[in-house]
Amino acid sequence: MSLREGAGHAKVTVHMGTCGIAAGARKIMSALIRCMDDPAVMDVIVTTSGCAGLCSREPMMTVEIAGKAPVKYADLTEDKVKRIFAEHVLQGKIVADCALAIGSEQTL
């Protein structure tokens, strides 16, 4: 699924493999969607992806602000999502105490 396709200033990816869903990724997704509705945020893309590998730290999500390195958040709760959305997605400030790491993995 994907909300608000196209260009945006930020993209939030919720990792929804079986492990993520079992750890509560659907709740995280719902919390995120609530954050988008009130007040209506139009330039943030919310999308899903598969397992990010570190299953023991699920639910996880990745926040990418246009032009910046992606940041992975782990061990999420609905409250943490609210904070991350308000501080990182909207204001660009990384929520350091919830963040797992910044950047991407080595592929190929």
Q: Contact positions toward other proteins, by CB under 8 A?
A: 1-2, 13, 15, 17-19, 21, 47-57, 62, 68-72, 94, 96, 99-108
Q: Which amino acid is at 68?
A: K
Query: From the CB of 79, what's the least distance to other proteins, in Å?
Result: 19
Q: How far is the CB of 10 from other proteins (least distance, A)?
A: 14
**Tokens read off for 20:** 């993520």
Q: What are the Cα distances from residue 67, in Å, to 10, 63, 73, 93?
A: 9, 12, 18, 14
Q: How far is the CB of 70 from other proteins (least distance, A)?
A: 7
